[in-house]
Structure 1
Amino acid sequence: MQRKTVFVNARVTAMELHEALRQIADIRHQMALGTVYRGYRAMTVGASGVLALLAAAIQPRWVPEPEGDLGRYLGLWVGAAAASLVAAGVEMSRRAWGHGPGLARRMTLLAAEQFLPCVAVGALLTTCIARGAPDAAWMLPGLWALVFSLGIFASHRLLPRPVGWVGVYYALCGCGCLAWGRGEHALAPWLMGITFGGGQLLGAAILHWTLERTDVTQGPG
């Protein structure tokens, strides 16, 4: 009887411990949602904007007829996007794991969970159009911009409030690309240059003004 009582007490204690750990995890999750994420850096975001402008400048020589050479067009812009994502991922990982386990790492994982779905959807969308409906490829710049805006809106709770305007910018550019980016303007380099070059530079300016400038002003204390 005594052994049975001890077993029951141990089981209850284990259940209470499990519940306490779950509550702690929930608290950490709520703290992450209520804290501004600082893993996105103005320098990295700005560099991706400059890369988009460079790709737009290179496109007329690299892909003079993008509708007739869709594979090369996609290679240019998917390559630029991949390079930007890798740079951002390295920066986020360095800051998260450099501070050891805790809130910074949790927020990095949460930011990735919120933004990466838009990247996956964009990749699937690109594959489907490139393989199944190449005649609709002119829509890609607009669709990319709209999908990217959804990723920004999904991450908005972790970022400074003005970053929402970047999402609005991408949404408007996406609609503009779909409205005017066909016919003689189909897959024109300025579509991507204005959309992603301008959008990333706007995001970099907002991150610097709202986060990094205040960090420098306040100092380490």
Structure 2
Amino acid sequence: MDHRKALADIDDIRNQLAASTTFRGFGPAALTATGGLALLMTLLQATMLAPMAADPIAFFSSWIAVAVVATALIGAEMLVRSRRHHSGLADAMILQAVQQFLPSGAAGAAIAAILLRFAPDAVWMLPGLWQILVGIGIFSAAHSLPKAANLGAAWYFIAGCVVLMLASQSHALSPWAMGIPFAVGQLLMAAVIFLAGGDNDAD
């Protein structure tokens, strides 16, 4: 029993240290790459894949694929950087980061599934809603990120509101309204992380 209590106390101490430590798992390299991916998909959908704007399933499937690749890039870099910068606290720090962003991610997936299945006439709201949810996710993790990360959160939140207002006029899906806010947001977050001391590597 004493052994189990000691292990539990160690876990509590580790979690408290993780909660009070700035998370250095996010790196500028992956964030910059994901911003580039968003910009690339915007250009593709605006030119070669222009008919996708008339097909919500194809339009959002492309962006979901981009999100999956972006998550994989950020996750891979996060694992490497966390092990290097946080050593014994790496697992606790990674778990904390995932827990902070998971509610917003789950909400975005649920809203997309509901609108696409039951309210296809309202899917024009998805780009703005997703951007707002990303902003909320960053705000939720603000205490473990550099203070300037709030600029990125504010960008996503304001951009989402503006996209919703503009899209409400035509209810049309626009690759520009989807991609530009995400490209700018990811590049802004990359700059914040880099200036806060995130070494610019792609390990």
- Tell me the TM-score normalised to structure 1 length: 0.83
Corresponding residue to 1:41 among 18, 24, 27? 27
Q: CA RMSD in A?
A: 2.2
Asked if the contact 1:138–1:186 (Cα under 8 Å) also holds between the matched residues in 2, the reply is yes
Q: Distance in 1 between matches of 2:55 and 2:71?
A: 25
Q: Distance in 2 between matches of 1:62 and 1:107?
A: 41
Counterpart in 1 of 2:57? 71
Q: Distance in 1 between matches of 2:97 and 2:195?
A: 20
Q: Are residue 94 (structure 1) and residue 110 (structure 2) matched? A: no
Map residues 189-200 of structure 1 onto 2, 5 A cutoff. Answer: 189-200=175-186
Corresponding residue to 1:140 among 126, 147, 151? 126
Question: Which amino acid in structure 1 is aligned with residue 149 of structure 2?
Answer: V
Structure 1 residue 67, shift from structure 2 partner: 4.9
Unaligned runs of 5+ in 1: 1-13, 217-221
Asked if the contact 1:149–1:167 (Cα under 8 Å) also holds between the matched residues in 2, the reply is yes
Query: Relative contact order (alpha carbons < 8 A, sep ≥ 6): 1 or 2 greater?
Result: 2
SS in 2 for 1:180: helix
Counterpart in 2 of 1:11? none
Asked if the contact 1:33–1:158 (Cα under 8 Å) also holds between the matched residues in 2, the reply is yes
Counterpart in 1 of 2:45? 59
CA distance change for structure 1 residues 161 and 195 in 2, over 3 Å: closer, same or farther?
same
Corresponding residue to 1:176 among 162, 168, 171? 162
Corresponding residue to 2:195 among 192, 206, 209? 209
Question: Which amino acid in structure 1 is aligned with residue 11 of structure 2?
Answer: A
Question: Which amino acid in structure 2 is aligned with residue 53 of structure 1?
Answer: L
Q: Are residue 156 (structure 1) and residue 124 (structure 2) matched? A: no
Q: Distance in 2 between matches of 1:52 and 1:61?
A: 14
Corresponding residue to 1:103 among 69, 89, 111? 89
Q: Distance in 2 between matches of 1:17 and 1:177?
A: 55
Q: Distance in 2 between matches of 1:58 and 1:182?
A: 24
Counterpart in 2 of 1:27? 13
Whose radius of gyration is greater, 1 or 2? 1
Q: Are residue 124 (structure 1) and residue 113 (structure 2) matched? A: no
Question: Which amino acid in structure 2 is aligned with residue 157 of structure 1?
Answer: H
Asked if the contact 2:24–2:85 (Cα under 8 Å) also holds between the matched residues in 1, the reply is no
SS in 1 for 2:196: helix
Q: Distance in 2 between matches of 1:101 and 1:39?
A: 11
Asked if the contact 1:67–1:137 (Cα under 8 Å) also holds between the matched residues in 2, the reply is no
Unaligned runs of 5+ in 2: none
Q: Distance in 1 between matches of 2:169 and 2:50?
A: 15
Asked if the contact 1:142–1:176 (Cα under 8 Å) also holds between the matched residues in 2, the reply is yes
CA distance change for structure 1 residues 100 and 190 in 2, over 3 Å: closer, same or farther?
closer
Q: Distance in 2 between matches of 1:131 and 1:53?
A: 28
Describe the superposition over 1:159-216 as per-residue Cα deviations: whole angstroms up to 9, x where unpaired.
1111011111100001001111234472212212321000000000000001226x99
Q: Distance in 2 between matches of 1:55 and 1:115?
A: 23
Question: Which amino acid in structure 1 is aligned with residue 129 of structure 2?
Answer: L
Q: Distance in 2 between matches of 1:62 and 1:140?
A: 22
Question: Which amino acid in structure 2 is aligned with residue 207 of structure 1?
Answer: I
Query: Percent sequence identity over matched residues?
Result: 37
